[in-house]
Amino acid sequence: MPGDIVLLGAPGAGKGTQAQILRQRFGYRQVSTGDLLREHRANGTELGKAAESFMQRGDLVPDSLIIKMVEGELEGPGAVLFDGFPRTVPQAQALDALLADRGRGLPRAVYFAIERAALEARLLGRWTNPRTGRVYHETFNPPRVAGIDDEDGGPLVQREDDKPETIAKRLDVFQAQTMPLVAYYAEHGDRLVTVDATGSVEDVAHQLIHAIGVEHAH
Ligand code: AP5
């Protein structure tokens, strides 16, 4: 079984879309901090309440809350795909320490390189199944029936933070707080690979599978 992988990229770069593909084809476990936080909010937990205003503004939720939440997800079989985590250098350092404590190797990171101009169109057209986290795009990756999930037949929704002003804020936050992780993973153990995230879903999946070396792992 391959090791743990961090999917690193701007909002809309396609991390969730690709995580879903790798999960289905190679049996990875997906840990998406965005999906976990939305679940906490839907269930009205203390963490969900604490995270709400940060998420509505497009800001990051404080590191201490995120690290505690992820710690609870690390037990379990199989390699993990971290989707949307870590997002700050302290989160990356904490993840390395948590995995080392559990005798797991350090994760490798895949950076999804894409121009900012392409991201807004992806986020404005996104539709999500809130129960499973599966994502579609009304133009680039549409469901068979508009507004309905192909898999479970349930309704698709648009995320509250996919509005132009919140998208702009999230992209600024990514640039300032998460981009330094590209250097972190390159410089701490040469653990970074980059994929060109501007192509089609299939094209990016092909590059990603090659980059993490699982093409013969079926
Ligand atoms: P989160 O849910 O993680 O959102 P995000 O990082 O902003 O990422 P997205 O889910 O928007 O994008 P994605 O890269 O997964 O793209 P997708 O595959 O959906 O975080 C939300 C909030 O939670 C944050 O703002 C923050 O407040 C908080 N949070 C979460 N984690 C945190 C952390 N670690 N620390 C602190 N706070 C945290 O694709 C986007 C669209 O494009 C879809 O419609 C898709 O169909 C389409 N698409 C995908 N690939 C392609 C392609 N190749 N070509 C054309 N269209 C494509």
Burial 65-85 (b: 16+ CB within 10 A, else e): bbbebbeebbeeeebbbbbbb
pLDDT cut 70: percent of the chain above it: 99
Name residues contacting ligand 1 (CB within 6 A).
9, 11-17, 33-34, 37, 54-55, 58-61, 66, 84-87, 91, 122-123, 125-126, 135-137, 140-141, 161, 170, 199-201, 204
Give residue 1 CA to ligand 1 midpoint distance, Å: 26
Neighbours of 88 (CB within 10 A): 19
pTM of the model: 0.95
Residues in the chain: 218
Residue 132 pLDDT > 90, yes or no? no
Q: Average pLDDT for residues 50-64, to the nearest whole number?
A: 97
Strands (E), the chain: 5-9, 29-32, 80-83, 108-113, 126-128, 135-137, 192-196
Collapsing DSSP states into helix, strand and coil, what is residue 191?
coil
Atom of ligand 1 nearest to the CA of 173: 25
Q: Average pLDDT for residues 171-195, to the nearest whole number?
A: 97
Give residue 9 CA to ligand 1 midpoint distance, Å: 8
**What is the gyration radius of the CA atoms in the chain, in angstroms?**
16
* 154-175 pLDDT, tens digit each: 999 999 999 999 999 999 999 9
Q: How far is CA 165 from the centre of its chain?
A: 21
Name the DSSP class of 28: P
Residue nearest to atom 55 of ligand 1 (CA): 140
Which residues does the annotation mark as catalytic?
15, 87, 126, 159, 170
pLDDT tier at 128, thresholds 50, 70, 90: very high
Atom of ligand 1 nearest to the CA of 9: 14
Residue nearest to atom 11 of ligand 1 (CA): 11
Gap between the Cα atoms of 126 and 138, Å rounded? 6
Residues contacting residue 136 through CB under 8 Å, at least 6 positions apart:
126, 127, 128, 142, 143, 149, 156
